[in-house]
Amino acid sequence: MKRHKAILSIFLILTLLSGCSGYSSEVVLIENEPPAEQEHLFLSVFGYKADALNLTAIENILNLHMEQNPDIVVTYEGVKGADYWNALERRAQANGLDDVFMVDHDHVIELTGQGKLADLSGLPAIEKYQDIMKEQFINKDGSAYFLPICISAYGLYINYDLLEAHGQKVPENWSDFLDVCNYFVKKGMTPIVANNYTSLKHLIVARSLYSVYQQDSSAAIERFNREPEELANALRPGIKMVEEMIDCKWIDCAETLTTDQTSDDLKLFVGGDRPFMVTGGWATSRVAAMNPEFSYGVHPFPILDDGGVLVIDANTCISVNADSEHLDEAMQLVECITQPDCIWEYCDSQSSYTPLQDDRIPADETILPASACLEQEQIVIGSDYRLNLPLDTSLSEITQQMLMGMSADEAATLLNRLLEQ
């Protein structure tokens, strides 16, 4: 049977979901042209909206699968930010989940409880993952309901030229950070660009849980699962730190409430008059595309007394719909996506790290300071999948409230209540 070359078309559509406002979504349609007499099936993949480089990597990976399976048509639909999670929840409620889709910590808990995720533990790629990543997705009974495609790092973007122009040095610890941020406040400048999605919750986790990850974290995680109040108390130092940042005017609360992740925040940083930005290292390609007129790099958060800490996550986690009409074929697609070269191409395209036992590091030099911190294991896992608690949504809620005036003590009390629900 003659194999036909895959054809790629990329287009933008406006999708309207029942009960919510419209949002722009980017759809990648990769389709083979099988002979007319050849039957073929369709697989759908639902995930995050991709940048140009990231989109090319996705195209190449799905093209590879099409070449290996000329009777299959695959579509990829990407939606940006919080709109993606709203859409995923609505599809789950309507029993309309795609064959393969991206998940995060809180949605894994929810969808696993509803029996909507297929067990991926039989896929051969699992043995190639780093131990720290296996801990994230392999359950005590051996089941696995998602696989991470990359390790994302969250850190502090630093405008080197602005610091130099003001005679300030790159902060390496909390004392340094305190001095340089207060310096810019005295100059009438807001030093930190933060977004309304992840910035503050990553700062809280970084400050509070570093000691947990410098030892065997399993016992602490089990304790937190048994006693959510202990996790809420453990996070108090970070909550107090964020309160201090707000009180000292390091962060503009009104601005942050309306600053979307990896769009508005990048524009503010690229403007050149803000020394710091808190967001994911994977946004460096977007920053570069905006042609900033200054040099910059991504560093660990300088919030410890004796150094910095990098927040990492098992990211771009993919699951398979347990009720897929094409379950075997969906499993085969995930097997293709998790091949080492496919994972590496995806990771390198967004300046992220491979979750596999692979010593390759991203080519992007702007994340080298963060990479050094990762190699030295000065890390905290931002969304630990071993936690059976809705930490992400709970931290998002309390940070929104803090930006609107809630005190640290009130936020810690609210966090405890949210975690125990």
pLDDT of residue 34: 53
Q: Are 218 and 122 part of one and the same domain?
A: no
Residue 156 has pLDDT above 90, yes or no: yes
Q: What is the largest distance, in Å, between two alpha-carbon atoms of the chain? A: 74
Q: Are 256 and 380 part of one and the same domain?
A: yes
Say how many C-beta atoms besides its own lie within 10 A of residue 135's C-beta. 17
Q: Are 11 and 127 part of one and the same domain?
A: yes
Choose between 44 and 13: higher pLDDT: 44
Q: What is the pLDDT of residues 314-371, one digit of tens each?
A: 999 999 999 999 999 999 999 999 999 999 999 999 999 999 998 888 999 999 999 9
Owning domain of residue 212: 152-313+366-420
Both structure tokens of 367: 């994340």
Q: What does the alpha-carbon distance between residue 220 and residue 34 come to, in Å, rounded to a whole number?
A: 54
In a domain, 1, yes or no: no
Q: What is the pLDDT of residues 212-259, one digit of tens each?
A: 999 989 999 999 999 999 999 999 999 999 999 999 999 999 999 999
Helix (H) or strand (E) holding 327: helix 327-337
| Mean pLDDT, rounded, of the chain | 90
In a domain, 42, yes or no: yes
Both structure tokens of 405: 């005036």
Confidence class of residue 262 from pLDDT cuts 50, 70 and 90? confident
Lowest-confidence pick of 22-36, 84-98, 327-341: 22-36
Residue 404 has pLDDT above 60, yes or no: yes
Q: Are 158 and 144 part of one and the same domain?
A: no
Choose between 250 and 62: higher pLDDT: 250
pLDDT of residue 4: 37
Q: Are 196 and 106 part of one and the same domain?
A: no
Say how many C-beta atoms besides its own lie within 10 A of residue 85's C-beta. 17
In a domain, 168, yes or no: yes
pLDDT of residue 22: 42
Mean pLDDT of 256-283: 96
pLDDT of residue 35: 52
Say how many C-beta atoms besides its own lie within 10 A of residue 421's C-beta. 8
Choose between 58 and 4: higher pLDDT: 58
Helix (H) or strand (E) holding 411: helix 408-420
Confidence class of residue 19 from pLDDT cuts 50, 70 and 90? very low
In a domain, 382, yes or no: yes
pLDDT of residue 80: 81
Residue recorded with tokens 């005190």: 407
Choose between 201 and 33: higher pLDDT: 201
Confidence class of residue 381 from pLDDT cuts 50, 70 and 90? very high
Q: CATH number, domain at 57?
A: 3.40.190.10
- Decide which of 348, 364, 380 is a domain's last residue: 364
Share of the chain above pLDDT 90, in %: 81
pLDDT of residue 341: 94
Q: Structure pTM?
A: 0.88
Half-sphere exposure of 196 (CA within 13 A, CB side): 17
Q: What does the alpha-carbon distance between residue 373 and residue 355 come to, in Å, rounded to a whole number?
A: 16
Both structure tokens of 349: 């395209």
At 194, the amino acid letter reads A
Q: What is the pLDDT of residues 102-137, one digit of tens each?
A: 999 999 999 999 999 999 999 999 999 999 999 999
Q: Are 75 and 139 part of one and the same domain?
A: yes
Q: Are 269 and 189 part of one and the same domain?
A: yes
Q: What is the pLDDT of residues 166-181, one digit of tens each?
A: 999 999 999 999 999 9
Both structure tokens of 336: 């293709």
Q: Are 134 and 270 part of one and the same domain?
A: no
In a domain, 88, yes or no: yes
- Decide which of 349, 364, 379 is a domain's last residue: 364
pLDDT of residue 8: 40
Both structure tokens of 99: 């064959």
Q: What does the alpha-carbon distance between residue 84 and residue 345 come to, in Å, rounded to a whole number?
A: 23
Q: How many domains does the chain have?
A: 2
pLDDT of residue 97: 98
pLDDT of residue 7: 38
In terms of DSSP H, where are the helices of 28-95?
A: 52-68, 82-93
Residue 10 has pLDDT above 60, yes or no: no
Cβ-contact 354, 128 below 8 angstroms: no
Confidence class of residue 37 from pLDDT cuts 50, 70 and 90? low
Residue 18 has pLDDT above 50, yes or no: no
Lowest-confidence pick of 207-211, 293-297, 371-375, 395-399: 371-375
**Residue 292's closest CA among 350, 366, 199, 181?**
366
In a domain, 70, yes or no: yes
Both structure tokens of 40: 């073929």
Please provide residue 108's backbone torsions phi and psi, each rounded to the nearest 5 degrees.
-60, -45
In a domain, 228, yes or no: yes
Q: Are 279 and 396 part of one and the same domain?
A: yes
Q: Are 215 and 164 part of one and the same domain?
A: yes
pLDDT of residue 82: 79
Residue 421 has pLDDT above 80, yes or no: yes
